[in-house]
Amino acid sequence: MRTLNALRCGWLILLLLFAGNLWAQANLDVDTPAITALRSSMQKRFAELSPFYANGAIGLTRDGYIALREPNAVPLPQRQQVNGLVAAENQDRAALYKEISRANGHAEWENDIRTTFAQRWIDKAAGGWYYQNNAGAWTRK
């Protein structure tokens, strides 16, 4: 009888552990004012960056940022401007990764967040865009 009770208790504990894990995994807050501002800033910038993703001037790096991989694909008069856009985008991305980890109370998650984003940016990139593979080589999607 006692063993049976212990067994039941054990199951209950396991169940609670599982539920606790699920709950912990369920949500990351990405709706703080700072994150919302970064999202809209990046969305606006995308309109300007979009043609340069498409023609391969810009590529997605394996560490969650973007880089001007083929400057010659940008007309000379625009090169300075595109450099500025890339730098601004990377600044926003760095701030985004940091802010998500901070807003969720785990500053130490910043690298994991960045790695997760790096993979998802590449997964969701349109066909024809360039990204860095695991070895760091530029690859056309």
Residue closer to another protein (CB basis): 70 or 110: 110
Residue with tokens 């949500």: 27
Segment 45-74, which members bind another protein (CB under 8 A)?
46, 50
CB burial readout 62-97, b (16+ within 10 A) else e: bebbbbbbeeebbeeeeeeebeebbeebeebbebbb
Q: Is 138 in the site for another protein (CB under 8 A)?
A: no
> Which of 3, 25, 72, 134: binder of another protein (CB under 8 A)?
25
Residue closer to another protein (CB basis): 2 or 72: 2
Assigned token pair, 6: 């212990």
Q: Mask 69-98, x = binds another protein (CB under 8 A)?
A: ---------------------------x--
CB neighbours of 121 closer than 8 A, spacing ≥ 6?
60, 64, 131
Residue with tokens 């309109």: 47
Residue closer to another protein (CB basis): 36 or 83: 36
Compute the least distance from the CB of residue 2 to another protein, in Å: 9
